[in-house]
């Protein structure tokens, strides 16, 4: 089968071994996949990744448990052992022995076929298109903010880093009724936010220390510094960023301002699917380009351009 492999160099292999489903797994035929910033960070050296990339996808089940065959599915990316103390507590996303699809120790979805635990699968409702389903994984990550931080409708929330994930976070937080402001650097970002009636401002237009919650989706140390400028004393910074390298930060300001810093990663797929089915979140406007699988290396180069939104790949 075809697979996008990274092992220091990035290439599309055409005779990569097709996986087989073992007990508890289904074999998935990948229909469409999305390129995430995490993919670009892995290619840049984050986690010393080696293998088949890709973790945002929609697929069809082609073998495994008969009750799943033919189902159109999305898949949670953390594959848990089901036995460790975190799994026993119902927190498989922090399984001590987890692998992560296309990120750590598990084959990714930029491939014709992938085997995945049936426990990770979610059926996609008919009303949700393939394009929309590719956004379930990052949209679930946006919903995870609400799991970690109560956001009141009286709050002012600022999202820094208006890329693909930031756009989803701003739309999800808007559902709480809170005042949401996206910090923009480009006209395209402002236009999208205005389309959803979300306020768009440049960092220079915002007063310091006026936000109850700041969500950092930048992936840069400058983004965390901006979040520290914008958050109120005793406010909260929610970190959605992962970084290659070790960013510097002025932690004295965290102590003096009594700022809470909360890390946030993968989230509830069910909530993301419900939001897409009900039309509560617009993901279609975030599609910037689509490529056939044979041109996936060019697709990755396109996705790496500054300000690029979602690039989809038809597998």
Asked if 87 is part of the footprint of Zn ion (rule: CB under 5 A), the reply reads yes
237 part of the interface to Zn ion, by CB under 5 A = no
Binding mask 106-145 for Zn ion (x = CB under 5 A): ----------------------------------------
Contact between 78 and 266 under an 8 Å Cβ cutoff? The reply is yes
Residue 281 backbone dihedrals phi, psi, to 5 degrees:
-130, 135
Nearest distance from residue 78's CB to Zn ion, in Å? 10
Reading the block at residue 33, the tokens are 């996949």
For residue 294, give the DSSP letter.
Answer: G
Of the ranges 43-51, 54-62, 64-72, 81-89, which one interacts with Zn ion (CB under 5 A)?
81-89
| Cα 261–chain centre separation | 19
Q: How far is the CB of 93 from Zn ion (least distance, A)?
A: 10
Single out the residue of 53, 58, 74, 95 in contact with Zn ion (rule: CB under 5 A).
95
Residue 311 in contact with Zn ion, rule: CB under 5 A: no
Among 5-13, 46-54, 93-101, 277-285, the segment contacting Zn ion (CB under 5 A): 93-101
Tell me the angle at which helices 269-277 and 136-148 cross, rounded to the nearest 10 degrees.
110
Query: Which span (22-30, 75-83, 100-108, 200-208) binds Zn ion, by CB under 5 A?
Result: 75-83
- Evaluate whether 51 touches 7 at the Cβ level (below 8 Å): yes
> Residue 78 or 155: which CB sits closer to Zn ion?
78
CA distance 152 to 209: 18
Residue 85 Cβ vs Zn ion, minimum distance, rounded to whole Å:
8
Minimum distance from residue 23 beta carbon to Zn ion (Å) = 17
Which two structure tokens, joined as six digits, stand for 257?
A: 């301002």
With CB under 5 A as the contact rule, the residue among 27, 52, 79, 80 that binds Zn ion is 80
How many residues bind to Zn ion according to rule CB under 5 A?
Answer: 5
Question: Of 32 and 106, which has the nearer Cβ to Zn ion?
Answer: 106
Q: In terms of C-beta density within 10 A (0-12 exposed, 13-18 middle, 19 or more buried), how is residue 160 classed?
A: buried
For residue 104, the minimal CB distance to Zn ion (Å) is: 14
Minimum distance between the CB of residue 92 and Zn ion, rounded to whole angstroms? 6
User: Of 71-79, 82-90, 213-221, 300-308, which part binds Zn ion (CB under 5 A)?
Assistant: 82-90
Span of 11-19, 61-69, 74-82, 266-274 interacting with Zn ion by CB under 5 A? 74-82
Q: Which of 123, 120, 122, 173 is nearest to 143 (CA)?
A: 173
Contact status: 81 vs Zn ion (CB under 5 A): yes
Number of H helices, E strands in the chain: 10, 19
Closest contact distance (angstroms) between CB of 177 and Zn ion is 37
Compute the C-alpha angle 125/169/212, nearest 5°.
140
Q: Applying CB under 5 A, which of residues 84, 104, 148, 287 lies at the interface with Zn ion? A: 84
Q: How far is the CB of 97 from Zn ion (least distance, A)?
A: 5
* DSSP bridge partners of 231: 211
Residue the block writes with tokens 């394009």:
131
Contact criterion met (CB below 8 Å) for 133 and 127: no
Contact flag: residue 275 with Zn ion (CB under 5 A): no
C-alpha 298/C-alpha 303 separation (Å) is 9
Q: Looking at beta carbons only, is 89 or 154 nearer to Zn ion?
A: 89
Whole-angstrom Cα distance, residue 46 to residue 67?
38
Task: Please tell me whether residue 33 adopts helix, strand or coil conformation.
Answer: strand
Name the residues that contact Zn ion, by CB under 5 A: 80-81, 84, 87, 95
């Amino acid at each position: 089968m075809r697979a996008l492999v990274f092992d220091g160099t990035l290439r599309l292999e055409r005779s990569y071994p097709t996986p087989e489903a073992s007990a508890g797994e289904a074999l998935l035929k990948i229909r469409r996949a999305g390129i995430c910033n995490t993919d670009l960070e892995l290619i840049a050296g984050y986690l010393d990744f080696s293998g088949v990339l890709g973790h945002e996808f929609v697929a069809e089940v082609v073998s495994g448990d008969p009750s799943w065959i033919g189902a159109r599915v999305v898949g949670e990316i953390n594959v848990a052992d089901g036995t460790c103390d975190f799994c026993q507590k119902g927190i498989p996303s922090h399984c001590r022995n987890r692998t992560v699809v296309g990120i750590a120790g598990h084959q990714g979805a930029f491939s014709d076929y992938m085997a995945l635990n049936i426990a990770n699968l979610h059926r996609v409702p008919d009303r949700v298109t393939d394009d929309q389903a590719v956004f379930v994984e990052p949209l679930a990550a946006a919903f995870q903010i609400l799991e970690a931080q109560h956001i009141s409708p009286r709050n002012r929330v600022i999202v820094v880093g208006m890329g693909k994930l930031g756009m989803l976070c701003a739309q999800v937080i808007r559902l709480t009724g809170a005042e949401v402001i996206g910090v923009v650097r480009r006209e395209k970002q402002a236009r999208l936010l205005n389309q959803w009636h979300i306020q768009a401002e440049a960092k220079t237009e915002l007063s310091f220390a006026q936000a109850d919650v700041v969500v950092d989706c930048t992936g840069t140390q400058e983004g965390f510094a901006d979040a520290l400028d914008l958050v109120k004393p005793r406010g909260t910074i929610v970190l959605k960023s992962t970084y290659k390298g070790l960013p510097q930060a002025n932690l004295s300001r965290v102590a003096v301002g009594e700022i809470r810093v909360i890390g946030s990663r993968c989230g509830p797929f069910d909530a993301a699917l419900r939001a897409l089915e009900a039309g509560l979140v617009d993901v279609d406007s975030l599609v910037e380009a689509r490529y056939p699988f044979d041109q996936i290396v060019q697709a990755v180069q396109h996705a790496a351009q500054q300000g690029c939104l979602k690039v989809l790949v038809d597998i």
